[in-house]
């Protein structure tokens, strides 16, 4: 009987791949899948783009003029939350359900690279969002102070860290259906009452106080500060984001099982 497998084809040559190659392959796969998934594209790109245009041209939320200057930081914060938290949590929850994590955990891919690959894909998606949204905002007349752009970049990275830690925590601990429900509910609540669409000073007092302590409120408020005035963000929002990052990471390390 002829065999398609010549002698020596499977002679063992085991060994782990180079970490950089594993990271690149993992991140590229995650990114391609995110950009191919219609629901994720809706959440991470279509809705932010529609909100950027809608809130700028339609006066549904009272905002200072020029409206684009107030809307853009809010939408940038929303984009970060949508990708690093909501989309990340949902995809992780379902990847666990579909045995993807178990499949990858059976290879030589270390756990930290598994997480790093996902985070790299999140950062790449956020970078794409920023390019698209900033260019669109510029077309709509947005002219931010140059001094604030560096701060904005740092805040976006800090926001990614805080939301990604929480996304991993949620997606890595609960059942996929519950993750889907909770992640979407949290997204919707934070969008409306978490200081993103409606600035903190326009929210009712108690809600504003709570929203200021949430990563959504802290990120949106800090982005509004740096992108409208060009000044450094206040220590408060930065500390809030750092605290959420540390707390989310610590809890995720203790509770998430990537197998």
Partner 1 sequence: MAVRGLVKCYGSVTAVDGLDLTLAPASVLALLGPNGAGKSTTVDICTGFATADAGEIRVLGTDPAGAPDALRARIGVMPQGGGAYPGVRAGEMLRLVASCAEHPLDPAWLIDVLGLGGCARIPYKRLSGGQQQRLALACAIVGRPELVFLDEPTAGLDPQGRRLVWELVDALRRDGVAVLLTTHLMEEAEALADHVVIVDHGKVVAEGSPTALTTGGDQELRFRARPGMDVADLATALPAGYHAAETLAGRYVVQGRIDPAVLSAITGWCAAQGALADDVQVARRSLEDVFLELTGRELRP
From 44-52, 107-115, 193-201, 212-220, give the range in contact with partner 1 by CB under 8 A. 107-115
In whole angstroms, the minimum distance from the beta carbon of 168 to partner 1 comes to 17
- Residue 55 contacts residue 197 (beta carbons within 8 Å): yes
- Residue 225 contacts residue 69 (beta carbons within 8 Å): no
Among 41, 49, 100, 242, binds partner 1 (CB under 8 A): 100
Among 64, 73, 79, 98, binds partner 1 (CB under 8 A): 98
Residues 6+ apart with CB under 8 A from 65: none
The C-alpha atoms of residue 225 and residue 233 are separated, in whole angstroms, by 6
- What's the token pair of residue 194? 């978490």
Residues 12-31 that bind partner 1 (CB under 8 A): 12-18, 21-22, 24-26, 29
Residue 66, preceding bond cis, omega within 30 degrees?
Answer: yes
The C-alpha atoms of residue 162 and residue 245 are separated, in whole angstroms, by 4
The C-alpha atoms of residue 3 and residue 9 are separated, in whole angstroms, by 11
Residue whose CB is less far from partner 1, 30 or 221: 30
- What's the token pair of residue 233? 């963000």
Report if residue 254 touches partner 1, rule: CB under 8 A: no
In whole angstroms, the minimum distance from the beta carbon of 48 to partner 1 comes to 22
Among 46, 50, 99, 150, binds partner 1 (CB under 8 A): 99
Among 57, 106, 192, 253, binds partner 1 (CB under 8 A): 106
Number of residues lying near partner 1 (CB under 8 A): 42
The C-alpha atoms of residue 220 and residue 223 are separated, in whole angstroms, by 5
User: Which residues here bind partner 1, judged by CB under 8 A?
Assistant: 1, 3-5, 7-18, 21-22, 24-26, 29, 32-33, 36-37, 94-95, 98-110, 259
């Amino acid at each position: 009987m002829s065999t398609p497998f010549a002698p020596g084809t499977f002679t063992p040559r085991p060994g782990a791949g180079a970490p950089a190659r594993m990271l690149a392959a993992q991140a590229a796969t995650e990114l391609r899948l995110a950009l191919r998934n219609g629901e994720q594209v809706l959440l991470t790109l279509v809705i932010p783009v529609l909100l950027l245009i809608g809130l700028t041209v339609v006066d549904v939320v009272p905002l200072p003029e020029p409206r684009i200057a107030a809307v853009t930081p809010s939408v940038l914060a929303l984009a970060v939350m949508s990708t690093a938290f909501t989309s990340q949590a949902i995809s992780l929850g379902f990847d666990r359900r579909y045995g993807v994590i178990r499949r990858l955990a059976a290879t030589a891919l270390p756990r930290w690279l598994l997480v790093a690959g996902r985070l790299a894909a999140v950062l790449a998606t956020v970078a794409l969002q920023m390019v698209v949204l900033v260019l669109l905002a510029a077309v709509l007349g947005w002219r931010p102070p140059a001094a604030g752009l560096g701060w904005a970049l740092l805040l976006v990275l800090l926001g990614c860290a805080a939301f990604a830690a929480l996304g991993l925590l949620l997606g890595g601990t609960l059942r996929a259906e519950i993750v889907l429900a909770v992640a979407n509910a949290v997204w919707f609540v934070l969008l409306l009452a978490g200081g993103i669409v409606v600035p903190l000073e326009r929210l009712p007092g108690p809600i504003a106080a709570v929203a200021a302590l949430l990563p959504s409120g802290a990120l949106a408020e800090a982005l509004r500060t740096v992108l409208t005035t060009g000044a450094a963000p206040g220590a408060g929002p930065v500390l809030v984001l750092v605290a959420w990052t540390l707390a989310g990471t610590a809890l995720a390390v203790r509770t998430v099982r990537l197998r």
